[in-house]
Amino acid sequence: MAKRKTKFVCQECGYESPKWMGKCPGCQQWNSFVEEMEASSKANRHILNGNRKFVQKPEKITEIKSEKEPRIAISLEEFNRVLGGGIVPGSLVLIGGDPGIGKSTLLLQVSSQLAEKGLPVLYISGEESTRQTKLRAERLNIQSELLYVLSETNLFDISQQIDVIEPSFVVIDSIQTIYREEVTSAPGSVSQVRECTGELMRIAKSKNIPIFIVGHVTKEGAIAGPRLLEHMVDTVLYFEGERHHTYRMLRSVKNRFGSTNEMGIFEMKETGLEEVKNPSEIFLEERSQGAAGSTVVASMEGTRPVLVEIQALISPSSFGNPRRMATGIDHNRVPLLMAVLEKRVGMMLQNQDAYIKVAGGVKLDEPAIDLAIAVSIASSFRDKPTRPDDIFIGEVGLTGEVRRISRIEQRIQEAAKLGFSRVICPKNNLEGWHPPKNITIIGVKTVQEALNIALQ
């Protein structure tokens, strides 16, 4: 009897090696190699020598007809927004998030709304039994005869049920529990995740069925398994939120059918997830009036402007190396802006601890929030509060200048809608458009000018 060959595969990047190694040469991760059985040569020969006919021929790009993708919209407008207007038939969507964040609840609500439209839906759970899914459905008050639930992990049996039921929408919860019998490695390994995702992509494209697959995340917050998984799917969604907050954010980081970096806000309640129509009011409802170190910034999340409060606390340090802590923003941005304030404005911040926080559990990563962070640091250091109806927008350069930002009109319109009366923004953004009548726009060129206006 021939000896079965084995190989070692990195669980992070999929790098293959004939022997075990402590450190992966591909992704530089330690202890990520797992032993797997190689596929038999007969199976490979059967695939290579199969009687396959290539019926599709190359076409000239000038002769291809461009058609707008039809979309299936549901009543959750925030969900439609993140996907770019609705669910595209034949798309493969990957959604990831921390355990218990609400991924299964969200997809069960989406499945219910599609079933209420008269579309048959197949919800496949590899982690829970059908009774457990039924208990969640009763809590969410879901009663639809077109919603089918299956507890199965074998991909062959799943594909057979898809052929029998012929659903219009399929949910796989989760991809790490699904396995193919032809692949000898354990479920959740690189080989299994890659092969199962490839087969699900073939089913989605050939049958024109949108398939949503749930992916586990690692301790760092990235989707577990090979990076190839995110490249294979059409859309990648991240479901984020703090455990101690009721608000959840659905963020798009890849979308072949719409804009990336879109964000939808939901609130977790006993009856399920409810969409938040105006997140700016939610993030600002508990803002303290007259507190030093508090500013408001208009940040863009995809195509939506969101007003968020930034808080700073500057206090004298009792150690030789002062602390720099940040929550909700890149922690490297805090010492950079403090260095600009020290060099260009003359603030003595070398012996000060700095704590920066974005209220509400939101994560901001655009450069337009620089000016609001700098003003909040200066406000806390000088113990002078800013006006409660001020908005600060602008990117700060290393020479202390305030640089131009994008989509200034949408940001200011959102600020005017919520009752703010003054916006301090880059002076180069004031040309070529007309601001609302009930709001004052002040253009500044440097951080020093902004501080003179905000803390006078």
Residue 303: predicted pLDDT: 78
**E strand or H helix that includes residue 194:** helix 190-207
Per-residue confidence (pLDDT) for residue 45, from 0 to 100: 42
Q: Between the CA of residue 235 and those of 170, 256, 258, 403, what are the distances in Å?
A: 15, 6, 9, 33
100: annotated binding-site residue? yes
Q: Which CATH class name applies to 77-277?
A: alpha beta
CA 411, CA 304: separation in Å to the nearest integer?
Answer: 9
Contact assessment for residue 407 and residue 451, using Cβ atoms and an 8 Å cutoff? no
The answer to whether 104 is a known ligand-binding residue is yes
DSSP secondary-structure letter at 368?
G
Confidence (pLDDT) at 54: 52
Q: What are the extents of the domains in the chain?
A: 6-40, 77-277, 282-454
Kind of pairing between the strands at 352-358 and 247-255: unpaired
Structure tokens at 67: 């058609």
Q: Is 290 annotated as a binding residue?
A: no
**What residues of the chain score a pLDDT lower than 50?**
1, 41-51
User: pLDDT tens, 80-112?
Assistant: 989 988 999 999 999 988 888 889 999 999 999
pLDDT of 115: 95
Q: Is 98 annotated as a binding residue?
A: yes
Query: What pLDDT, on the 0 to 100 scale, is given for residue 43?
Result: 45
C-alpha span between 256 and 114 (Å, rounded): 22
Residue 182: what pLDDT? 85
User: Is pTM beyond 0.85 here?
Assistant: no
- C-alpha angle 207-212-213 in degrees, rounded to nearest 5: 115
Looking at residue 48, its pLDDT comes to 41
Please give the pLDDT value at position 356. 96
User: pLDDT value at position 177?
Assistant: 92
Cβ(95)–Cβ(214) below 8 Å: yes
Q: How far apart are CA 299 and CA 317, in angstroms?
A: 31
Residue 442 among known ligand-binding residues = no
| 102 is known to lie in a ligand binding site | yes
Q: Residue 263's pLDDT is what? A: 83
- Find out whether 361 is annotated in a ligand binding site: no
Q: Is 288 annotated as a binding residue?
A: no
Fold annotation for 282-454: Ribosomal Protein S5; domain 2 (3.30.230)
